[in-house]
Structures are given as structure tokens and as C-alpha cells.
């Protein structure tokens, strides 16, 4: 019996399916990159290597149901570098909120500063994918991480809120580029039957790194220079494993067969590089069209994940400080809460690989909404802390299920635009999350954070149940 998330179930559910030989799916990487100029064969220097023009397609090799060992090794190295970088980013996000609170900054201003990070996300989701196409996954990772390391030191030099808004914007642009590198790579090497578990490994790496970063707050006074230096050092250290790795990811078909693009020029390290083609904005918007065509629920699902994740990361420290928790208490709670987010990742992903992913989305959002209502009433105390841990553990599993749902039927040659589109939607929600949550907190006090979250998760639950009733998944 096929997995509930194989593409054929979309046809049986009444959704349109793209023919396997449709001309739109035969577009080469040369028609997918960034330029308004006509496409011409070009030679581009990269680290002394010469890029070759597209070659005629070679005869198809027999399908293999195993991901090549080289791709697995390169993926592990990429995730290791990402783990180092995300540890620094987790430290920085909480550090900025705590520093602004110590400077007696109003909660609404904190929300605006933190929202700038996700506004940069939104712009980067449109424009960052072009760099990945031109130079490959590894070189793009190195460039974006270097930008982030420079910005981290800027927070220690300047204290003015407008400067911090600008720095957060640039960091958001850089980090969304890194997330696009990681997510497009993983979805390219994963088959539908294993995509949820592969993506959960990425999310586990993410939450483990961010959680460890919270405990680094105790290394020095948040009001000093030292912690920002630690962040910059972590960003720089993440470049070492990534710069030493090489090789492009082999694409996996819906049934697990690995293959590589036939028409893309390559660098000396073996990464495919696209030539000039449509504009960046047109490509980003086309990715949105693909997402909406294949999985319209994924649009609001990613939007909700952005609203919820960003509001927790940025406003939870404010929520706790307003309730008179110490900086150490905030550090410990944030660290343990994000480590608690690790616990459901694998079982939720495994369940989502076996059943209709929309049913999992509905269950996750309903449980999250129930936690929000309880936290709005309780606010403080041992029971409230326990519910807060449950809230984090559940809500942070949402994004992985939603993106896997969207990518189930996405053609392999559309992974980068789809990943960029998902991050664009996520960042659109995330850019509004801190500001909207801080506005709710200004209206009803600190518990407004969970009033805001309850509204978002309740809406997602209703929309998901409507989707399930309208188009039930058929299995066979």
C-alpha cells in the first residue's frame, strides 16, 4: 500500500496533477535563474573553475532507491555547520530582547525591532535564491553566514533602535538565504516516503542549536560586549565545515530514485549552477503559485507558523520579564523549552508520513489553541510553566508538517522556488508576529501574547478541518 502522502493521492482527491512529461516541468535550470537578458551559454569563473554550457541530455540511468553516499555526507556536513550557526542565532535573538528591556524600551518598540528581522526574511526569500543558483549551496551558505557575523558585532557598537532595526533586517535577509540552502537541499535528496523524517532531523538540529544558545546567556552580562562577540564567533565557526564540503545534492523522485539535473552547468566542486533567466521577483511569485496550486492550506499553515514562532522567540522573554522572572530564569526557560521542542519532532513526522498530513496539522493546531487558552488564564506558576513547555513542544512541530505537505507533490526541479516561496510566506507572518503580539500585550497585559496565539491557532484549526471535509484523502 502506498504512503498516504504519495502524489497519486492528490489525483484521487480531485486535485489537479501535472503530467509527468508536461513541458513546464522540462524547464532547465537555465530558464530558472536571475536575469532579464536573453539566455546565452556563458562561462563564469568560480574559484578558478570554468563552467560548461548545458549539454544534451544523457540516457537515463537505472533508477536507484538509495541516496548516494556522497550526498548524505555532504548533507551531514551542511547540517553540522548549520547547527553551529543556529546556536549563535538563538543566543542573539533572546539577547536582543533582554538588552532592549534593560534599556527600558517599550514592548512595542521591541516588537518592531524584532519584526525587522523577519522583514529581511521576506525580502531575502524573493532575492536570496538567485545567489544559490549562481554559486551553489555551499558558497551561498558561506556568503550569508559571513554577513551575519558582521552584523552581530554591529549590535555591540551601536545602541540606537533605528540602527538595530537596520541590522536585524540585514540579518533576516542573510538567515533566510541559509534556510533556503538547507531546506531546498534536504527536500531535493528526500523522497516523499521519507521527507517528513528527513525534515524532522533538520528541525531537531534547529531546536537543539537554538536551545543550547539560550544557556550561553549565562556566560556574561547581557549589557556588555562579550555575548555579541560569542555570537559572531559562532557564525564564523559555522563556515569551517561548510567551506570544506563539496558536491551537489542528488535529486530524489517521489519513489526515492536519486538523479541529478541533466542540463545545468556545474562548478569544480560538482554543484549545479543555473544560468541567467527570469527576474528574481517573477521566480519568487511563481513559487507562490506552485504552493497555492498544490496545497492551498500550506499558505495559511506557513503564515501561522511564522506568526507563532516569531512571537514566541521575541516576546516570550518580554512576557516573563514583565511577570518579574529574572534573566537567569528566562534563560533557563527558553533553553529547556526549545529543547522540549525536540521531543515530538520525530513521532509527529513519522505519523505525518503515515496518515494525511492535514489531520496532523489539525491535531497540532487544536492542541496548541487549548494550551493558549490555559496560559491566558493562568499566566504564572508551576502548572503554567508545564503548559508552556507543552505549547512550545507542539507549536514548533507545525512548520515541518506543513512544508512536507506542500512538497509532497512538488516537482523536483522546483524545490528551490518552492522553498523560497514557503519561507516568503513564513517570513510574511513572522514579520508581523512580534508587532501584533506586542500590540496585544499593550492592550491586555503580558497575557496578550497567548490571546494572539490562540486566535492564530484557532483559525488554522478551522481551516484545516474545512479542507479535510472538502477534499478527503483517499488511501489504497
Per-residue confidence of the chain (476 residues) as pLDDT tens digits?
Answer: 444 554 443 333 343 333 333 333 333 333 343 444 444 333 333 333 333 344 444 444 444 444 455 566 767 777 888 899 999 999 998 899 888 888 888 888 888 898 898 888 778 877 767 777 787 777 888 888 888 999 999 998 888 889 999 999 999 888 888 888 877 777 776 666 666 677 777 877 887 888 899 889 888 888 888 999 999 999 999 888 877 765 555 554 444 444 443 333 333 333 433 444 444 455 556 677 777 777 788 889 999 999 999 899 889 988 998 888 888 888 889 888 888 877 887 888 888 888 888 899 999 999 999 999 999 998 788 899 999 999 998 998 888 888 888 877 677 777 677 777 887 788 788 888 998 999 999 899 889 999 999 999 999 999 999 988 887 763 43
What is the pLDDT, as a whole number, of residue 245?
A: 64
Query: What local confidence, expressed as pLDDT, does residue 244 receive?
Result: 75
CATH fold of the domain at 67-470: Growth Hormone; Chain: A; (1.20.1250)
Identify the pLDDT of residue 18. Answer: 37
CA dihedral sign, ordered 31, 34, 38, 39: negative
Cα torsion 168, 172, 173, 176 to 10°: value is 170
SS3 of the chain: the string is CCCCCCCHHHHHCCCCCCCCCCHHHHCCHHHCCCCCCCCCCCCCEECCEECCCCCCCCCCCCCCCCCCHHHHHHHHHHHHHHHHHHHHHHHHHHHHHHHHHHCCCCHHHHHHHHHHHHHHHHHHHHHHHHHHHHHCHHHHHHHHHHHHHHHHHHHHHCCCHHHHHHHHHHHHHHHHHHHHHHHHHHHHHCCCCCHHHHHHHHHHHHHHHHHHHHHHHHHCCCCCCHHHHHHHHHHHHCHHHHHHCCCCCCEECCCCCEECCCCCCECCCCCECCCCCCCHHHHHHHHHHHHHHHCHHHHHHHHHHHHHHHHHHHHHHHHHHHCCCCHHHHHHHHHHHHHHCCCCHHHHHHHHHHCCHHHHHHHHHHHHHHHHHHHHHHCCCHHHHHHHHHHHHHHCCHHHHHHHHHHCCCCHHHHHHHHHHHHHHHHHHHHHHHHHHHHHHHHHCCCHHHHHHHHHHHHHHHHHHHHHHHCCCCCC
Taking the whole predicted model, whether its pTM rises above 0.75 is answered as no
Q: Which pLDDT score is estimated for 282?
A: 55
How high is the pLDDT of residue 194? 67
Neighbouring-strand partners of residue 272: 266
Cα 304 from Cα 307, distance rounded (Å): 5
Amino acid at each position: 500500500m502506498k504512503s498516504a502522502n504519495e502524489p497519486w493521492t492528490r489525483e484521487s482527491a480531485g486535485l489537479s496533477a501535472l503530467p509527468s512529461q508536461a513541458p513546464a516541468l522540462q524547464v532547465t535550470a537555465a530558464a530558472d535563474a536571475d536575469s532579464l537578458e536573453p539566455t546565452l551559454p556563458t562561462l563564469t569563473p568560480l574559484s578558478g573553475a570554468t563552467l560548461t554550457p548545458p549539454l544534451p541530455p544523457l540516457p537515463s540511468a537505472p533508477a536507484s532507491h538509495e541516496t548516494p553516499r556522497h550526498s548524505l555526507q555532504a548533507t551531514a556536513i551542511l547540517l553540522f555547520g548549520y547547527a553551529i550557526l543556529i546556536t549563535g542565532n538563538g543566543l542573539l535573538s533572546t539577547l536582543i530582547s533582554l538588552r532592549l528591556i534593560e534599556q527600558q524600551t517599550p514592548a512595542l518598540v521591541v516588537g518592531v525591532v524584532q519584526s525587522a528581522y523577519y522583514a529581511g526574511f521576506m525580502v531575502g526569500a524573493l532575492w536570496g535564491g538567485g545567489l544559490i543558483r549562481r554559486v551553489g549551496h555551499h558558497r551561498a551558505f558561506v556568503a550569508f553566514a559571513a554577513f551575519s557575523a558582521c552584523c552581530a558585532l554591529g549590535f555591540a557598537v551601536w545602541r540606537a533602535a533605528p540602527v538595530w532595526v537596520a541590522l536585524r533586517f540585514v540579518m533576516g535577509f542573510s538567515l533566510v538565504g541559509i534556510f533556503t540552502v538547507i531546506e531546498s537541499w534536504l527536500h531535493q535528496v528526500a523522497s516523499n516516503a521519507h521527507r517528513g523524517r528527513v525534515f524532522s532531523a533538520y528541525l531537531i538540529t534547529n531546536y537543539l542549536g537554538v536551545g543550547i544558545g539560550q544557556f550561553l546567556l549565562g556566560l556574561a552580562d547581557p549589557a556588555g560586549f562579550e555575548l555579541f562577540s560569542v555570537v559572531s564567533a559562532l557564525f564564523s565557526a559555522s563556515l569551517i565545515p561548510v567551506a570544506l564540503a563539496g558536491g551537489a545534492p542528488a535529486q530524489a523522485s517521489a519513489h526515492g530514485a536519486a538523479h541529478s539535473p541533466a542540463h545545468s552547468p556545474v562548478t569544480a566542486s560538482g554543484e549545479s549552477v543555473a544560468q541567467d533567466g527570469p527576474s528574481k521577483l517573477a521566480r519568487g511569485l511563481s513559487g507562490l503559485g506552485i504552493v497555492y496550486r498544490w496545497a492551498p492550506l500550506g499558505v495559511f499553515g506557513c503564515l501561522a507558523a511564522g506568526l507563532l514562532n516569531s512571537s514566541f522567540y521575541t516576546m516570550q522573554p518580554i512576557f516573563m520579564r514583565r511577570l518579574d522572572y529574572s534573566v537567569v530564569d528566562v534563560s533557563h526557560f527558553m533553553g529547556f523549552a526549545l529543547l522540549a521542542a525536540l521531543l515530538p519532532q520525530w513521532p509527529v513526522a513519522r505519523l505525518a508520513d503515515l496518515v494525511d498530513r492535514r489531520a496532523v496539522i489539525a491535531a497540532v493546531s487544536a492542541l496548541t489553541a487549548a494550551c493558549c487558552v490555559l496560559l491566558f488564564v493562568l499566566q504564572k506558576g508551576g502548572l503554567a510553566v508545564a503548559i508552556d513547555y507543552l505549547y512550545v513542544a507542539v507549536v514548533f512541530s507545525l512548520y515541518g508538517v506543513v512544508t512536507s505537505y506542500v512538497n509532497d507533490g512538488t516537482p523536483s526541479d522546483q524545490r528551490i522556488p518552492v522553498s523560497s516561496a514557503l519561507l516568503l510566506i513564513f517570513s510574511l507572518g513572522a514579520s508581523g508576529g512580534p508587532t501584533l503580539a506586542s500590540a496585544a500585550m499593550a492592550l491586555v497585559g503580558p497575557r496578550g501574547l497567548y490571546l494572539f496565539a490562540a486566535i492564530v491557532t484557532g483559525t488554522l484549526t478551522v481551516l484545516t478541518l474545512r479542507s479535510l471535509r472538502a477534499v478527503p484523502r483517499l488511501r489504497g
